[in-house]
A and B are shown apart, each in its own frame.
Chain A
Amino acid sequence: MSAEMNVKQTAAESGDSLLVEGWRRFRRNKLALLGLAMTITIILAALFAGALAPYDPIKQLIWTEGASAKLASPSSGHIMGTDLYGRDIFSRVLFGARISLQIGIFATVVTLVIGIPLGAVAGYKGGVYDDLISWLVNVVFAFPFILFVLAVVSIFQNPSLYLVFVAIGLVNWVNICRITRGQFFSLRNSEFVEAAHALGLPARRIIFRHILPNAMAPIIVQATLGMGGIITIEAGLAYLGFGAQPPTPSWGLMISEGQQYMAQGQWWWSVFPGIAIMFTVLAFNFLGDGLRDALDVRQKR
């Protein structure tokens, strides 16, 4: 028992120093700090959308302010203009951050819950397990991402946001699975695993308590970089009408609602939500790249 404690102790110690050292490196990277600041901005916007938004995101101002509120161009009153129903686009963009972050976070959780165990088993056990899981990864990977998510979503008659993030997770897990598998594959013969093995620990304990903490860095990096992809896919689903439904202030949905007015020069309805998506994806990309450099993932590969 005490020997096991020792093994754990070492893992924990190196984990701590990795974090401290990682933060030191992260702090020196300007792009990483920019990514962090942008991410915090989005999180704050989502959390305090209610207080920050000048208008109710689904309130149709044409009923109170008259026709002047319909498709009004950006001005001091409505800094991003209004849409056909007189809804304030800036307020809707703020509330949209909630939808995107929610989907991003929950779909990532589903992704990790499926991807990590499968990748761990494939990499640790090898053999038939590895063949089977790798085959499944290749099969799922062969589908055009958005089409497969669409097919899963369309199975159910009433698309809800829960369904969207489960569907995204059901496809997205392959990326995490590949990374986890590679990590476990390279770590399974290392000395601390051998030691745990020699102590007679069950495989499950070795996988989750001993190898996984040492394999986390690349998984965290991949999950962060994956957030951008998930948010883009959700926007694509909403754009095609399969994700969030009106009057939800979803960025993808807003782009689709406004697109027919672009030809008449009323560009703001579709352009601002797109900038919000780009900003968010950029934030997670910078953050993920920064984490990769800080946690030294690239050199481990």
Chain B
Amino acid sequence: MFAYIVRKMLYTIPVVWGVITVVFILMAVVPGDPARIMAGQRGDPATIAKIRHDLGLDLPMMSQYTKFLGELARGDLGMSYRNNEKVSSAIATRFAATMRLTLWAMVIAVVLGITTGIISAAKQYSAFDYAVMFISVSGVSAPVFWVGLLLLLVFAYSLGWVPGIGVGEGQWIYLALPALTLGVRPAALLARLTRSCMLEVMTQDYIRTARAKGVSERLVIIKHALKNAMIPIITIIGTQVADLLSGAVLTESIFAWPGVGRLAVEALRNRDFPMIRGTVIVLAVTFLVANLIVDLSYGFFDPRIRYEDR
């Protein structure tokens, strides 16, 4: 198991380096002079030259790259062009909000998706089954920002059950709609997958054996069937991490949620390159770390994988 963990971690390192380099190249080929953007409309040439020197923009590209890597290694992501805030501290103050949103979206998706999937499979072709399938097919196809607006329209503007956008003073109720919005798509996928996996597992011989033994139907489903249906379900949860982080960018924008995704979109609007660079790198590395965790749990749930993969 230890060797498996170490190997998986070593695979991630070149990918992290690639992510950092691609972002650096993207920001380096941008037309337009960052020093001019910082100096503003009335910046005179001397000021612009000074800013350029302070930022190290007068260095050759290769030196800029090594300087960037060196600073990154020390956790320094540079300064925002807009308000002289450190990029790393701007991200640090917003990272928790993004994690809170995505993790709760994931919890909603897992609880909602797996339970409805199990009930759907247990009561195949019932009205409940058809309803779940209809909703989940729609949920997979609807764009996340539109789902968010619909939920706002129904639960905030029409029914008034929850407040609108924003975070208030951090109360839980403000989390409800954003987390639900972000959770709809993975919940829909999980419901469909759980249903089909359960239906497949339920035809296996060991299920018949368990039933023949006189095990109650509830136990057959939870203990015998669900356990064996878990591997593909975990795989799907893993692939959803990327979608969740992408969706967080949009969800945070709709709900004015103070996370890294919204910070990134604002930075893109302002052409604040160090901030774009920082947020994109942090989100990409978050994805890689999350994927690593999923990979490891995969090896944990299915012991065959860590031996086969040698």
Residues from chain B with a CB closer than 8 A to the CB of A147 are 246, 249, 261, 264, 279-280, 283
With an 8 A cutoff between CB atoms, is B138 at the interface?
yes
In whole angstroms, how far apart are the Cα atoms of A138 and B242 in the complex?
Answer: 12
With an 8 A cutoff between CB atoms, is A263 at the interface?
yes
Q: Are B249 and A270 in contact (CB under 8 A)?
A: no
Q: Are A274 and B149 in contact (CB under 8 A)?
A: yes
Residues from chain A with a CB closer than 8 A to the CB of B152 are 262-263
B19's partner among A143, A236, A241, A255 (CB-CB below 8 A) is A143
With an 8 A cutoff between CB atoms, is A90 at the interface?
no
Within 8 A of A (CB), among B233-285: 242, 245-246, 248-250, 253-254, 261, 264-265, 268-269, 271, 276, 279-280, 283-285
In whole angstroms, how far apart are the Cα atoms of A141 and B283 in the complex?
Answer: 12
Q: Are B153 and A267 in contact (CB under 8 A)?
A: yes
Selecting from A69-77, A150-158, A184-192, A206-214, the interface stretch reads: A150-158
User: Chain B nearest CB: distance from A64 CB in Å?
Assistant: 30
Selecting from B1-9, B29-37, B220-228, the interface stretch reads: B29-37
Q: Are B18 and A144 in contact (CB under 8 A)?
A: no
**Taking A147-B264, A236-B250 as contacts, is the C-beta distance between A135 and B157 under 8 angstroms?**
no
Within 8 A of B (CB), among A52-103: none
Residues from chain B with a CB closer than 8 A to the CB of A232 are 143
With an 8 A cutoff between CB atoms, is B68 at the interface?
no
In whole angstroms, how far apart are the Cα atoms of A151 and B269 in the complex?
Answer: 10
A242's partner among B31, B268, B287 (CB-CB below 8 A) is B268
With an 8 A cutoff between CB atoms, is A265 at the interface?
yes
Name which of A141, A143, A144, A278 has the most chain B CB atoms within 10 A of its CB: A144
Mask: chain A, 227-250; 1 = CB below 8 Å from B; 0 = not: 010001001100111100000000
A139's partner among B19, B26, B157, B264 (CB-CB below 8 A) is B19
Q: Are A262 and B287 in contact (CB under 8 A)?
A: no
The residue of chain B having its C-beta at the shortest distance from the C-beta of A232 within the complex is B143
In whole angstroms, how far apart are the Cα atoms of A155 and B248 in the complex?
Answer: 22
How many residue-residue contacts, CB under 8 A, span A and B? Answer: 128
With an 8 A cutoff between CB atoms, is A176 at the interface?
no
Q: Are A142 and B284 in contact (CB under 8 A)?
A: yes
**Taking A147-B246, A155-B26, A282-B137 as contacts, is the C-beta distance between A142 and B15 under 8 angstroms?**
yes
Q: Are B265 and A240 in contact (CB under 8 A)?
A: yes
Q: Are A138 and B246 in contact (CB under 8 A)?
A: no
With an 8 A cutoff between CB atoms, is A277 at the interface?
yes
In whole angstroms, how far apart are the Cα atoms of A172 and B287 in the complex?
Answer: 17
In whole angstroms, how far apart are the Cα atoms of A265 and B152 in the complex?
Answer: 11
**Taking A155-B26, A271-B150 as contacts, is the C-beta distance between A265 and B157 under 8 angstroms?**
yes
Within 8 A of B (CB), among A107-163: 135-136, 138-148, 150-152, 154-157
A255's partner among B26, B146, B283 (CB-CB below 8 A) is B146
With an 8 A cutoff between CB atoms, is B166 at the interface?
no
Q: Are A154 and B268 in contact (CB under 8 A)?
A: yes
**Taking A142-B15, A147-B264 as contacts, is the C-beta distance between A157 and B143 under 8 angstroms?**
no
User: Chain B nearest CB: distance from A173 CB in Å?
Assistant: 14
With an 8 A cutoff between CB atoms, is A179 at the interface?
no
The residue of chain B having its C-beta at the shortest distance from the C-beta of A259 within the complex is B149
In whole angstroms, how far apart are the Cα atoms of A156 and B30 in the complex?
Answer: 7
B26's partner among A144, A152, A263, A270 (CB-CB below 8 A) is A152
Mask: chain A, 270-301; 1 = CB below 8 Å from B; 0 = not: 11001001100110010000000000000000
B18's partner among A138, A151, A152, A263 (CB-CB below 8 A) is A138
In whole angstroms, how far apart are the Cα atoms of A254 and B14 in the complex?
Answer: 41
In whole angstroms, how far apart are the Cα atoms of A263 and B288 in the complex?
Answer: 38
Question: Could you tell me which A residues sit within 8 Å of B by CB distance?
Answer: 135-136, 138-148, 150-152, 154-157, 228, 232, 235-236, 239-242, 252, 255, 259, 262-263, 265, 267, 270-271, 274, 277-278, 281-282, 285
Question: Could you tell me which B residues sit within 8 Å of A by CB distance?
Answer: 14-15, 18-19, 22-23, 26, 29-32, 137-138, 140-146, 149-150, 152-153, 157-158, 164, 242, 245-246, 248-250, 253-254, 261, 264-265, 268-269, 271, 276, 279-280, 283-285, 287-288
CB<8 Å pairs between A and B, sample of 17 = A138-B18, A139-B22, A141-B242, A142-B284, A146-B249, A147-B246, A147-B283, A151-B268, A154-B271, A155-B26, A156-B31, A236-B143, A255-B149, A265-B157, A265-B158, A278-B141, A282-B138
A138-B15, A265-B158 known, 8 other contacts, Cβ within 8 Å: A139-B15, A145-B246, A147-B261, A151-B268, A154-B276, A155-B30, A240-B253, A285-B137
